[in-house]
């Protein structure tokens, strides 16, 4: 067993499915206008919408989670517009996902990915500007990093390699903080650490 869960026959399968879903949403957005697609405002995460004033100009911001679009907490982690954004995230998912699925099993890996994405969304809701727009799988990816670090510690693996990967990604996060959601990255990472601790350190019998 993989930490009490059923070991995956193909540990890359879940990552392939997740990459396929992200790619399909990306193609859909490109086909409907890219950054200007009306679907961006529907799928990406916006904590709040409504009227807001910036430099004396009043804008009518599209509806967000506080206005009833609760699905954005989930759909935002599958939403990308720029090719570099989806490319980097999917490359990271392909590098991290199969390792984790092989270690903890398919069901736990999928739960880890989705719940890390939701903790990232929660952090965005809590710490971001209410009318900001956040999208991308980065929060879930950072959750995988946190969990993989715990697995490496547990099995006395190459912790340095994982630590360098994490450090480089956080360095980019805060170096380009105006372009990157640090809230989502930190929230996803913390969520991955907590969920990873439950999976890795819980008694194997349960």
Catalytic residue positions? 138, 185
Q: Is residue 62 a contact partner of residue 108, using CB atoms and an 8 Å limit? A: no
Residues 115-144: b if buried by 16+ CB within 10 A, e if exposed: bbbbbbbbbbbeebeebbbbbbbbbbbbbb
Nearest to 77 by CA among 117, 23, 17, 46: 117
* CB-based burial label for 35 (10 Å; 0-12, 13-18, 19+): exposed
Alpha-carbon gap, residue 80 to 167, rounded angstroms: 24
C-alpha to C-alpha distances, 93 to 139, 177, 205, nearest whole angstrom? 11, 22, 29
Q: Is residue 81 a contact partner of residue 75, using CB atoms and an 8 Å limit? A: no
C-alpha to C-alpha distances, 36 to 32, 33, 51, 68, 90, nearest whole angstrom? 8, 5, 20, 22, 23
Q: Which pair of tokens denotes residue 173?
A: 């996060």
């Amino acid at each position: 067993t993989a930490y009490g869960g059923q070991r995956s026959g193909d540990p890359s399968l879940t990552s392939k499915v997740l990459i396929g879903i992200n790619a399909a949403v990306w193609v859909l957005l490109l086909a409907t206008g890219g950054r200007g697609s009306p679907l961006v405002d529907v799928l990406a995460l916006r904590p709040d919408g409504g009227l807001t004033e910036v430099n004396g100009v009043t804008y009518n911001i599209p509806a967000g989670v506080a206005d009833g679009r609760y699905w954005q907490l989930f759909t935002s982690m599958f939403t990308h517009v720029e090719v570099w954004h989806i490319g980097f995230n999917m490359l990271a998912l392909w590098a991290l996902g199969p390792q984790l699925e092989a270690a903890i099993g398919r069901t736990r890996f999928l739960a880890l990915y989705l719940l890390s994405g939701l903790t990232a969304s929660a952090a965005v809701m809590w710490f971001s500007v209410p009318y900001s727009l956040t999208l991308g799988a980065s929060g879930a990816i950072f959750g995988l990093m946190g969990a993989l670090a715990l697995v490496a510690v547990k099995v006395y693996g190459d912790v340095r390699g994982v630590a360098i990967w994490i450090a480089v990604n956080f360095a980019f996060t805060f170096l380009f903080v105006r372009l990157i959601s640090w809230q989502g990255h930190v929230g996803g990472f913390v969520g991955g650490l907590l969920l990873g601790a439950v999976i890795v350190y819980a008694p194997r019998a349960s």
